[in-house]
Structure 1
């Protein structure tokens, strides 16, 4: 394994093509840390895994070599925010880049893929779920791909904390692109996961570059408190600067935000249930400093680059060190002093342990959920394979008297066992169909100029809209008409009320996809690799998280680094444990010093009486400390004063 812990020092380098590109597009004179090693490795066509902490400059490692080679770099990432952000940044630098993500219409996807074949583009960002579509695979084989980049590559390992089955499709993509090297990148991977990533991505040879995960500017703090909101307000009032507060559920994001507003602290809340427009507005407010605090679930932060976050506070415990390290690492990316704080109450231990049966419900429960799913969809025995169904978890739980969290976990385990595929919330693009004839549209001019402009733009942009539903994109219509997205939406709703169009606004919906026919409940098998082994690893991750917050004798930075296989032997000197141990050491040292001084005074006075001034001449110590110690000995009755002379008590 290759390693380099000193990632802030530029490596000496020649004026190769990669350095020229770095200067030309990014304005840097040299690469940092292991960037150059990774770039050289991938340029030589070797499969490469780069372990780089958040803020370590991952994007440079694939963007520079991709520009140096002929062809297109395929970047696989689950982070839509990162896709949009990086495409925008590349375009600003004059580099041609595209992205395919949920919410795009089929026509928009086809146009994007065609551009990748014929348009001399350098980067295509795509989510792992899109890899499995026939249209993508057909078009992919016509593209000249130079590198396959897999971001957040820990998601391919079922031993990791954030396994996503869609990542397993990447190995199939490799078969379609023989000889194309893979660059896998992640900021969080244990030694076990590091091996698994390489195996599942079909590395031709193990090849890992590791940057130290140590963050010397970041102080890790655990505050033990039974009054978390009081402690939260105390911290925010004492510490200036931008902040992220992580909580466990959506309801809490709103509650904490309202609390902060009432205390005069500007804040917004963020979770996966918000629509994209709301997310974008709130993220923009926070990034520009208009809003100081973002209160969020773990849906916030991935792919979001704000270097001057001064503090990240966890009100609730994450269920793994990996998740905590990723979230805490969003503080202090500018290299300035920052803090990662966990608020820990005694009840948190039981709360965290309760997640084990929620995440791994009993096997009989999982089988019952499977059986009730067949009743829900009225699926006959032997039917199902290839069927795709929208899934409303609230409706399902209401009908069969379940709680949503264990049902969600049961469906994920059934996905792992190969009986179905349960997708997370997928964006369904808006659909539109005109319900009046084309020749009747002239009557609509009386609805106003904006409406006329919108209708004409729809007719020019989409075909077949009178005969069938067509996927539309409100953002695209807003750009073309000069209206806001909100205006476009309200005008379409108005047309729907007038029965001129049938409009189905975009919505987020999970899906159940049957990957095999329905089986009898007694024949349903959940193998140990899917259940017992993964449950045991989950329990170990929770134990490691609890050890981190309850341990008060080991440097917190060392605990985190050892978890990821990094054996540093020095303490950080700035976490709460290091500060506490230093204070205890000082107190012990002071106590020992005071004891020795007292004994020294008593020994001298035992020989013959002395004045304080005489003692001062015989003992080399600060005068104030000496006087204080004399008073303590007088109070304890160990010495006495007779006519201004001190003497040992008989």
Structure 2
């Protein structure tokens, strides 16, 4: 007797009913029809494929873009006593064969694969031998060049239609408009599918955007008033630590998270935040995928995200328990300038694409009309330096050339060097004392990278050189000497990547064949950046109305809780003047920031009352630029 979806939901997740439109999607999948599910962040996408896969006999293949996300989902399923696996990095052919035997005979229900893994002929052959009950494509917007996170490897997922012609597909995404949904459908060859869309409207989430110079002071104001679990997103690893330390110095329990931390450091930071030992976490966008914490009441963007899609996805991690929550974004004119500059520096022209493409063939001395079917060793940074190409734009151009099947690069493009201290604290300290030339370098090394004595840490020689005021060549030499002294284990990253040319050299002719699509992709990238800046700076239209329009939804009325709606309402008639006077009588002299913090009121509201009290000659400003009672 088949178990019902409701029984599966209660048995493994502890819920007695589905959210809209989860049940409809699950019914569609169980009827062996293809489906596209567009559910905003926190809408319960995973349940839409996990429940029907558990109802049916066989294994569900899940395509997912990030190793960390796959591992997170596998661990979540294992905690619910559901068998799930992924293929570990670096697995040999024999290990892969053994893993597939385990899947076949060990009643494994979920196999998580990256789209790159899927291109392996061994994996494709092994998939044919499995009893596959469903194919789920997570983050399906990556298929589309119109999507905000296009990945060329996602365009090849449709090979599964040939390998598993009888199996139905479900494509899931949290961010897609009509163009992206059409692209997903066409690429995956979904002919008889149903598209399910849940509105992006979040009635409990207040989008609030503030143009402000002193962001740190605003953080203090926010956390003085709001005592809920929070995420603060910043754009650099360094800032995560700096802002967490700033908050700690002001008695707010906080931690930080970024991709450069050790596994133990990440686990500790995550646990401290989840258990609310430290309810505030400051993080880069490496944090958040697969996070299931329903009572996050506040998401703050301290720096500007790159697109509306990223903003909605990250802000959507607040208020999953349906209680009122806040998405706060802080910005100033300098942020807008930097955002525009970064966009400009990362979007090449067709002429620049043609120039990089031509120089690649010249670099390897390939003649016109020639195609050498060999693998070349390619050093990206040396290439940029040789031809004076900007790194950011050249990186984008190489990805474009890969996207359009002109080149093939291996996956170790961003591989970093690693370091671990194997000597004791005493031997390292003793060496530092005996070799004064190394003293500063060792101090900088240990201060820059925490956990070197416990774990193998990824390091950046160029960054170390800058901090130690020496050349990167000297950094490498120093590390090699420390390794020779048995104080460290240093694995220097090979700056080379393997490159294959897939088309014969025809220079401009090659790019001209793809120029229309490339221009479209670059135009879209620029348009997304412009759309986001327009959204941030438009304080005349309700934030929810703007976001819904971007995702092809029409809002019937303003949300009433965003910064624009609140600003359009009549100002609070509460007179703070008497409270300000009483405070100045007690404290004698205070700045506007100090008054706003003590009264738990935003500074802009305080300034209106201060201006009135000054005009009424009840207060004055002293030579320290502070307010005090008029004597």
TM-score (norm 2): 0.73
**Partner of 1:301 in structure 2?**
288
Cα distance, 1:206–1:93 mapped onto 2, change above 3 Å: closer
- Compute the displacement of 1:334 (Å): 2.3
Spell out, residue by residue over 1:464-517, the C-alpha distance to the aligned partner (whole angstroms, 9 max, x if none): xxxxxxxxxxxxxxxxxxxx9977979xx9xx97999xx996979894542515
In structure 2, relative to structure 1, the CA distance for the partners of 1:517 and 1:261 (3 Å cut) is: farther
Q: Is the 8 A contact 1:243 1:311 kept in 2?
A: yes
> Do the aligned partners of 1:101 and 1:126 also contact (CA within 8 Å) in 2?
no
**Secondary structure of the corresponding residue to residue 352 of structure 2:** helix
Distance 2:543 2:258 in 1: 29
1:480-519 matches, within 5 Å, as 511-517=497-503, 519=505
CA displacement 1:330-371 (0-9 Å, x = unmatched): 112222222111112123333332233323212333333334
Distance change in 2, residues 1:388/1:109 (3 Å) = farther
Question: CA 1:559–1:101 in 2, change beyond 3 Å: closer, same or farther?
Answer: farther
Q: How does 1:242-391 map to 2 (within 5 A)?
A: 242-274=229-261, 276=263, 278-374=265-361, 382-385=370-373, 387=375, 389=377
Residues 509 and 56 from structure 1, CA distance in 2 versus in 1: closer, same or farther, beyond 3 angstroms? Answer: farther
Conservation of the 8 A alpha-carbon contact between 2:367 and 2:505: no
Write the mapping of 1:28-427 to structure 2, written as runs, cut at 5 A.
28-102=15-89, 104=91, 107-274=94-261, 276=263, 278-374=265-361, 382-385=370-373, 387=375, 389=377, 393-422=380-409
CA deviations on 1:517-541 (whole Å, 9 max, x unpaired) are 5625444415234322122222332
Name the CA distance, whole Å, in 1 between partners of 2:362 and 2:268.
Answer: 42
1:138 CA drift (Å):
1.7
The CA deviation at 1:112 is: 2.0
- Larger Rg belongs to: 1
3-state secondary structure, aligned to 1:525? helix
CA deviations on 1:158-217 (whole Å, 9 max, x unpaired) are 111100111111101221100110001111111111111111111022410111222222
Q: Does 1:541 align with 2:528?
A: yes
Contact 1:102 1:426 in 2 (8 A): no
Q: Residue 309 of structure 1 aligns to a residue in which SS?
A: coil
Query: 3-state SS of the aligned residue for 1:415?
Result: helix
**Is residue 72–residue 121 contact of structure 1 (8 Å, CA) maintained in 2?**
yes
- 1:525 aligns with one of 495, 511, 533: 511
1:68 to partner: Cα distance: 1.4
* Residue segments in structure 1 that go unaligned for 5+ positions in a row: 1-14, 432-483, 588-650
Post-superposition offset of 1:290:
3.8
Give how far 1:156 is off.
Answer: 0.4
Which one is further off, 159-168 or 23-32? 23-32
The answer to whether the aligner puts 1:571 opposite 2:562 as a matched pair is: no
Q: Which runs of 5+ in 2 are unaligned?
A: 419-450, 458-478, 574-631
Aligned twin of 2:537:
550
Q: Are 1:427 and 1:507, in contact at CA under 8 Å, matched by a contact in 2?
A: no
Alpha-carbon distance in 2 for matches of 1:18, 1:429:
45
Partner of 1:644: none
Secondary structure of 1:189's counterpart equals: coil
Q: Deviations over 1:73-96 (max 9, x none)?
A: 001111333322322232233321
Deviation of 1:251 (Å): 4.3
Counterpart-to-counterpart distance in 2, 1:316 and 1:125: 33
The secondary structure found in structure 2 opposite 1:531 is: helix
Shift of the 230–379 alpha-carbon distance from structure 1 to 2, 3 Å rule, reads farther
CA contact (8 A) 2:58 2:131 kept: yes
Q: Is the 8 A contact 1:103 1:428 kept in 2?
A: no
Query: Quick one: structure 1 residues 488 and 520, their matched pair in 2 at CA, closer, same or farther if it must change by over 3 Å?
Result: same
Q: 1:100 deviation in Å?
A: 2.1
SS in 1 for 2:133: strand
**2:569 matches 1:582:** yes
Q: Which stretch shifts more, 339-348 or 165-174?
A: 339-348
Aligned counterparts of 2:59 and 2:494: Cα–Cα separation in 1: 31
- When structure 1 is superposed on structure 2, of 352-361 and 567-576 the one drifting more is 352-361
For the residue of structure 2 that corresponds to 1:248, the secondary structure is coil
Moved more, 163-172 or 353-362: 353-362
- Seen in structure 2, the aligned counterparts of structure 1 residues 101 and 359 have a Cα distance that, compared at 3 Å, is farther
Number of residue pairs the alignment of both structures matches: 516
Distance (Å, rounded) in 2 between the aligned partners of 1:350 and 1:161: 21
Please give the secondary structure, in 1, of the residue aligned with 2:213.
coil
**In the aligned structure 2, how far is the partner of 1:422 from the partner of 1:214?**
41
Structure-2 change in CA distance of 1:574 and 1:489 (3 Å) = closer
Moved more, 257-266 or 225-234: 257-266
Instruction: List aligned pairs for 1:434-445, cutoff 5 A.
Output: none
Aligned residue number for residue 5 of structure 1: none
SS at structure 2 position matched to 1:530: helix
Q: Is the 8 A contact 1:554 1:577 kept in 2?
A: yes
User: How high is the TM-score relative to the length of structure 1?
Assistant: 0.71
